[in-house]
Amino acid sequence: MSGSLRIKWDKSIETGNRAVDVQHKYLIDIINELADGIEQGMTAKTFQKILNLLKYYTLWHFGREEQCMEQYECPAAEANKSAHAVFIETFERFQQEYRQGGGADEIARRMYKVLTEWLVNHIQKIDGQLGPCVHGKS
Ligand SMILES: [Fe+2]
């Protein structure tokens, strides 16, 4: 069924910081483009293009978010930084596997599942700790 891989924005992944939330929403938009592509059978080339966009935007976003956590002296700042590094490593490993695997659909699906589950879980558990820091200081 079309759309079943998509993820939806909801309150459980709201951090309370406006800029970070806007960035997370855009991340979800890119993720959903991947979801549509997997379901509708996009070419490996298109999949890779969206993956690159996701990677560069994620890198930029992680940098902004890390700055924000430092600025508000969020206790989760260090854990957030190391989690981001692990994510990027995993992302690149998958990207390489996808390239070497000739753009196999199975790899695309596995990659999508692991990365999106990680992101949603990360936003809920670690980025979610940003809100109380921001509100506590304002
Ligand atoms: Fe984060």
> Residue 48: which of 83, 91, 8 has the closest Cα?
91
User: Residue 94 is part of a domain; what is its CATH number?
Assistant: 1.20.120.50
| C-alpha 81 to ligand 1 mean position (Å) | 7
Distance CA 91, CA 70 (A): 24
In a domain, 71, yes or no: yes
Q: How many domains are contained in the chain?
A: 1
In a domain, 7, yes or no: no
In a domain, 133, yes or no: yes
| C-alpha 50 to ligand 1 mean position (Å) | 20
| C-alpha 24 to ligand 1 mean position (Å) | 10
Arithmetic mean of pLDDT, 126-138: 83
Give the pLDDT band of residue 135 (cuts 50, 70, 90).
confident
Question: Under the phi-then-psi rule, with left for phi > 0, alpha for psi from -120 to 50, and beta for the rest, what region is 8?
Answer: beta
Looking at residue 103, the DSSP 8-state letter turns out to be S
| C-alpha 53 to ligand 1 mean position (Å) | 18
In a domain, 117, yes or no: yes
In a domain, 122, yes or no: yes
CB 117 within 8 A of CB 5: no
Average model confidence (pLDDT) for the chain? 92
Domain residue limits at 125 = 16-137
Handedness of CA 4, 6, 9, 11 (dihedral sign): positive
